[in-house]
Amino acid sequence: MLNKLFGKISHNIGIDLGTANTLVYVKEKGIVINEPSVVAVNKRTGQILAIGKEAKEMVGKTPGHIIVSRPLVGGVVSDFETTEQILSYFIEKVHKDSFALLPRPRVAIGIPSGVTEVEKRAVIDAAISAGAREAFLIDEPMAAAIGARLPVQEPAGNMIVDIGGGTTEVAIISLGGVVTSRSLRVAGDKMNEDVIHFARDKYNLLLGERTAENIKIAIGSAYKMNDRLEMIIRGIDLISGLPKEMEVNDDQIREALFRSIKVIVNNIKSAVEETPPELVSDIMQKGIILAGGGGLIRGLDKLIAEQTEMPVRRMEDPLTAVVRGIGAVLENLDELSDVLIESGEDKKLR
Ligand code: ADP
Ligand code: MG
């Protein structure tokens, strides 16, 4: 009885600590936070001035002593202290809004499948010192697969390609575990850089990072489309130093993005080649599942299908796939707690 009561009032939260966006899921409530993984720091004092949306708004607009950075880009724990502060900020925010009178939360965090034991330990430690009572980890591709409602615990192959901001995760999942995976540092951010290089090299036009991202989202594609897309872009002329605007079309941006897209597609191809034949035939039937914001590039599904000779399915709402998967684990612990791969203190999350 008492146990049951505790089970009800204790709260569990899931966090997708992405290189571009951090999302938080609260059991029985759903997604309560969806903000950029961005931090603004005063370089002189080391003090954090803003986190999330507020910090992203400062990008490119700060005085010299304030730096706005995305501390997770180089991997989850490239910067332990900041990671802890981000976790702390979001855990506090959820705790204050919803559960001020309850004990500290248990937290499940998605991590890229490639991280080392040392890095895993560091994430758990960061979560505990950020105020979690206990911390558990889950492989991001596994979470994305659960978010896509794939039958991850069956003895059948599921292939997930999650293209985020800083990293692309390619994983094959069967029987509740990751069979093979690879993690590349080529994803949405590199595509933004492709657009910047293109404008600089071809037109001597200097573009800001956010402008480049907007261009990518507005007219970027991976495969020739029927409809032509065009837009006016604005930047600084590198020769005169003055503002300049020009028109670009989808063909030009596709050519620019191909630099990164080629790497992603080649890695998917070789992951397929390394997969045991039994699993390949499962994937043939179910298709490769595309998740993450970078997977939204127009025609990428078509290009991957052509190159791998496999069907490709874009999952619904790919930007929230991982956190919805973590949420599904929290809601169905009886069935799914096996996919949690590590624990802070004990192994039971109830
Ligand atoms: P992460 O998991 O690393 O935080 P996300 O899955 O949140 O990353 O994806 C962020 C990336 O998705 C960014 O590089 C962003 O530019 C890109 N993105 C978002 N929407 C689109 C879109 N419609 N088309 C292309 N790229 C997109
Ligand atoms: Mg992600």
Q: Which ligand is nearest to the CA of 326?
A: 2
Residues written for the chain: 350
* Alpha carbon distance 348, 4 (integer Å): 15
Per-residue pLDDT averaged across 25-42, rounded?
92
What single string gives the DSSP state of each residue in 209-265? HHHHHHHHHHH-BSS--SS--EEEEEEEETTT-SEEEEEEEHHHHHHHHHHHHHHHH
Residue with token string 């489309």? 225
Nearest CA to 192 among 170, 171, 214?
A: 214
Q: Name the region of 287 (left: φ>0; alpha: ψ -120 to 50; beta: rest).
A: left
* Alpha carbon distance 283, 336 (integer Å): 22
**Would you place residue 341 in the very low, low, confident or very high pLDDT band (cuts 50, 70, 90)?**
confident
* Alpha carbon distance 195, 299 (integer Å): 17
Per-residue pLDDT averaged across 245-251, rounded?
97
Q: Which ligand is nearest to the CA of 191?
A: 1
Q: How far is CA 261 from CA 84, 89, 274, in A?
A: 32, 34, 20
pLDDT over threshold 90, residue 95:
no
Q: How far is CA 124 from CA 75, 109, 177, 272, in A?
A: 15, 9, 20, 32
* Alpha carbon distance 21, 18 (integer Å): 5
User: Position 154: which residue type?
Assistant: E
Per-residue pLDDT averaged across 307-314, rounded?
96
pLDDT over threshold 60, residue 305:
yes
Report the atom number in ligand 1 closest to the C-alpha of 188. Answer: 14
**pLDDT tens by residue, 148-190:** 999 999 999 999 999 999 999 999 999 999 998 999 999 999 9
**pLDDT tens by residue, 5-28:** 444 445 899 999 998 999 999 998
**pLDDT tens by residue, 45-89:** 888 899 999 998 887 778 888 888 887 776 555 577 788 888 889
Binding site membership of 147 for ligand 1 (Cβ less than 6 Å)? no
Those residues with Cβ within 8 angstroms of residue 151's Cβ, 6 or more apart along the chain or in another chain? 158
Task: Please give the pLDDT value at position 309.
Answer: 95
* Alpha carbon distance 67, 47 (integer Å): 11
Binding site membership of 135 for ligand 1 (Cβ less than 6 Å)? no
Over the chain, what is the mean pLDDT?
Answer: 89
Substitution candidate for ligand 1 out of 15, 16, 17, 19 with most atoms within 8 A of CB: 19
Nearest CA to 248 among 199, 192, 298, 196?
A: 199
- A 10 A CB-CB count for 207 gives 22
Q: Which ligand is nearest to the CA of 323?
A: 2
Task: Please give the pLDDT value at position 100.
Answer: 62
CA of 292 to the centre of ligand 2 (A): 6
CA of 5 to the centre of ligand 1 (A): 40
pLDDT over threshold 50, residue 347:
no
Task: Please give the pLDDT value at position 2.
Answer: 43
Task: Please give the pLDDT value at position 94.
Answer: 87
> Contact at 8 Å (CB) between 283 and 275?
yes
* Alpha carbon distance 245, 237 (integer Å): 9
Task: Please give the pLDDT value at position 77.
Answer: 55
Substitution candidate for ligand 1 out of 39, 160, 296 with most atoms within 8 A of CB: 296
Greatest mean pLDDT among 108-112, 300-304, 336-340:
300-304
pLDDT over threshold 70, residue 268:
yes
Those residues with Cβ within 8 angstroms of residue 328's Cβ, 6 or more apart along the chain or in another chain? 146, 147, 336
**pLDDT tens by residue, 114-137:** 788 888 888 899 899 888 988 999
Whether the model pTM is above 0.95? no
